[in-house]
Structure 1
Amino acid sequence: MTKEEIFQFMNENPVFYLASMDGDQPRVRGMLLFRANEDGIIFHTSAQKDVYAQIRNNPKAELCFFGNGMQIRVTGELEYVQDNELKEEIYNHPSRKFLQVWRENGISDDILRIFNLRKATAVIWTMETNFAEKVPISLF
């Protein structure tokens, strides 16, 4: 797969699993992708969640996307993004209507945290390639 095909796959399968570290204990949870392209793999969370503190303490992470019998694992470092234009884009995106309650309660600027996965490589898995050597694909 090319980088562009990998980004397309992620955008078409936006629910992914994020593995982070809590001290020496791995933690995995489902997340929702905002977008993936040449600029990075962008998602957001709340400053009140454990995952936010885990990422800030150790930005190394792995994301796992799955769809149509294919799994793409992306390993890299998460960068905390402070970009008001991107924040507005996220709040106003049709797929993020669930965030409007934060705005209505006046806590939106204090709670939304955006991350961008950069310095990343992807590994593709299917049942057909289950025992084949994994070949990392550099995304950035």
Structure 2
Amino acid sequence: MSDHASERPWPTEIRLRKAERLLEVAFEGGARFALPAEYLRVESPSAEVQGHSASQKQTVPGKRNVTIEGVEPVGNYAVRLIFSDGHDSGLYTWETLYRLGREHDAIWAEYLAALEAKGLSRG
């Protein structure tokens, strides 16, 4: 069996910072990300948000004040985040969390552009 770090990102720490509305995730190799609740909610890996293909992805408005109410482990490969708006169906794999951290600026810019193009608001 090969080493996790050589295959895919492996978390060393996951910490919910409720007051700041952040999920902090540290990975082997030193990468560390502070991911805002709003960002994690609008980029949820759930079918409700992502659809079943890129063309079906939903632009989720009005989540500026959403919080993360809980973090539940799912096996040894993911966490389920429970949001204050009741959304809890997305499984955030280690790869997804790493990608969301690494590509935050580009993904967030795309989200803001999609909101603007559709006349929607962060709320």
Q: TM (normalized to structure 1)?
A: 0.26
- Rg comparison, structure with higher value: 1
More strand by share: 1
Where relative contact order (Cα < 8 A, 6+ residues apart) is larger, the structure is: 1
* TM-score, structure 2 normalization: 0.29
